[in-house]
Amino acid sequence: MSKLGLAVLLGGSLALGGCMQATLSPVSDASMTPRDRQLLAHPPYARASIPEQFQRHIVDYRRGEKPGTILVDTDARYLYYVLPGGKAIRYGVAVGEEAMAFSGVATVGRLAEWPDWVPTPDIQARLGPYPARVPGGPANPLGARGIYLYQGNKDTLYRIHGTNQPEYIGQAISSGCIRMTNADVIDLYQRVKPGATVVVLPPGQSA
């Protein structure tokens, strides 16, 4: 790429970030397993066009969380994975509707690839009936990865996970969990460590 082309690209990326410097993170399937590629080759849902602001970016990060922390800005529909050197990877997410959204501090208690979905009694009552257990796969609402949020040794029943409805990224639509595109949750999954801190800001408290 020419210097002029690079300058135009960086200029456009900076404009996207507002007060945060933003550059597009390289999109790669290097972190995808052969199973991921097979299952996502022909997903049983329409491919969604994710708005530019909700695509994966590397941004400046001025908050105090240490590298390896996940922070979810509920209002902005962003998830940040904190990197060293005042940077973070910013992903667009779908969050829970206000009455059902999780907020607070948790830890990553469990990680799973293509997890089964076990609908809670509340979800069964509101949205069911569903089978007692839905096997993992591209049609599963949890998508390609599940990152399970715990407080102490107790499962909060909230997760960061993939989705079979990528068209809802950037909205408050879920039953409380934090949804990412399957490509983004695969990317986050291979970075995050068990025991990592997860901070979910409540509505009205933006990063």
Task: Write down the catalytic residue from 19, 42, 57, 161.
Answer: 161
User: Which tens digits make up the pLDDT trace of 115-128?
Assistant: 998 877 877 777 66
What percent of the chain is predicted at pLDDT more than 90? 62
Q: Looking at residue 25, what is its pLDDT?
A: 55
Q: What is the mean pLDDT of residues 66-86?
A: 96
Average pLDDT for 62-81: 96
Q: What is the mean pLDDT of residues 58-84?
A: 96
> How far is the C-alpha of 180 from the C-alpha of 197, rounded, in Å?
18
pLDDT averaged over the chain? 84
Q: Catalytic annotation on 161?
A: yes
Respond yes or no: is residue 19 known to be catalytic: no
- 101-110 pLDDT, tens per residue? 788 999 999 9
- Closest Cα partner for 180 from 77, 52, 66? 77
Tokens encoding 79: 């998830």
Predicted local confidence at residue 119, as pLDDT? 79
Which residue ranges form the domains of the chain, and what is each CATH number?
25-201 (2.40.440.10)
